[in-house]
Amino acid sequence: MSRSLRCSLPFALALLSGAVCAAPQSLTVISFGGATKQAQDKAYFQPFNASGAGNIVAGEYNGELSKIKAMVAAGHTSWDVVEVESPDLLRGCEEGLFEKLDLSALGDPGQFVPGALTECGVATYVWSMVLAFDQGKLAKAPQNWADFWNVSEFPGKRGLRKSAKYTLEIALLADGVKMDELYQVLNTPQGVTRAFAKLDQIKSSIQWWEAGAQPAQWLVAGDVVMSAAYNGRIASAQEEGMKLSIVWPQSLYDPEYWAVVKGTPNKALAEKFITFASQPQAQKVFSQNIPYGPVHRQTLALLPASVQAQLPTAEANLAGAGAVNAEFWVDHGEELEQRFNAWAAR
């Protein structure tokens, strides 16, 4: 008798038959919360629990690598799998915060988008930082980040992420830097100074956000007239009937990764979960619930055209978009975030 069958027996019958019904092993999975976590719950957490492989305990954070660092340093790992941005994956892997993964169970690497499978992480979706606005709050639609800076034609507050990352890129794009030269310029002292000088122009009009849910909330409330935002959060708001729009040209796209925290006693189960969440059918459910691009190549064909059109990986949406340079942020992130925080506090 299989364990799953034994454990489906009524309790009294299980006692009589001598069946051993051990509870499924728990696995703590930490992600960024909000609409993304809701989609993960439907696509990955609930089905994984139902499979009998384990029991997901889902939590959330805002991407603080310091929390993971403290756990690893203390030798007390209470998180098993974490969702991390690409620079944090590289940085955490270099610093020994994440386990090296056995990727063999995932199958042919060619079935995944480039860069999806790495030493310490497996990409779970591709998202974009886009310009979003409320159609009802503006007389005409902005076309690019230069319009975002044009407070005379588009009066009102603007939302930007309270971080050097993405914000400095956006400032340079607004200042006329071409997408394919973006990191070449940002990789110079003059380029960084140029980005901050551009931000100075609208500093008094900026409302800084830290949580991914804030841009859509602020747009609907009229607190801001346009905002940098994660594309999936805006799409979720659109599905709820909110009159929000996305400007795809000059968007910045990046994969998000699953990583396994160093020292977890549940590494084998963590790898099982990542393999489970990387299959086309599971990724299809995720992209149907929040329009972030799947990383398994077979997934797109499973999705209706209306959903494909909302994904960062759709051909039309990639036109004029650019990839976030994770290595740049690993090399320069700490110093730029310190400079940004000092600038923002002034």
Closest CA to 344 of 160, 211, 189: 160
DSSP state of 188: S
Sign (positive/negative) of CA torsion 248, 324, 293, 134? negative
Read off the amino acid at residue 211. A
* pLDDT of the residue at 177: 98
Closest CA to 167 of 198, 133, 123: 198
* pLDDT of the residue at 21: 58
Tokens of 155: 């009066």
d(CA 287, CA 307): 8
d(CA 258, CA 123): 6
d(CA 300, CA 296): 8
| Contact by Cβ (8 Å): 320, 179 | yes
Q: How far does Cα 309 stand from its chain's mean position?
A: 19
Count CA atoms within 13 Å of residue 118 on its CB side: 27
Fold annotation for 127-253+318-345: D-Maltodextrin-Binding Protein; domain 2 (3.40.190)
Tokens of 22: 């051990």
| Contact by Cβ (8 Å): 84, 257 | yes
Domain ranges of the chain: 3-126+255-314, 127-253+318-345
Read off the amino acid at residue 13. L
| Contact by Cβ (8 Å): 202, 154 | no
As a dihedral over the C-alpha atoms of residue 114, residue 116, residue 117, residue 118, rounded to 10 degrees, the angle is 100
In the numeric block, the tokens 């660092």 are attached to 69
| Contact by Cβ (8 Å): 31, 273 | no
- Matching fold, domains 3-126+255-314 and 127-253+318-345: yes
d(CA 335, CA 346): 17
Averages of pLDDT over each 10 residues, the chain, 346 residues: 40 45 87 92 98 97 94 96 95 96 94 92 96 92 98 96 97 97 98 98 98 95 96 90 94 96 97 98 95 92 91 85 92 96 96
Fold annotation for 3-126+255-314: D-Maltodextrin-Binding Protein; domain 2 (3.40.190)
* pLDDT of the residue at 160: 98
d(CA 53, CA 40): 17
* pLDDT of the residue at 34: 87
| Contact by Cβ (8 Å): 280, 294 | yes
Element (H, E) at 108: none
d(CA 267, CA 262): 9
**For the whole model, what pTM was predicted?**
0.77
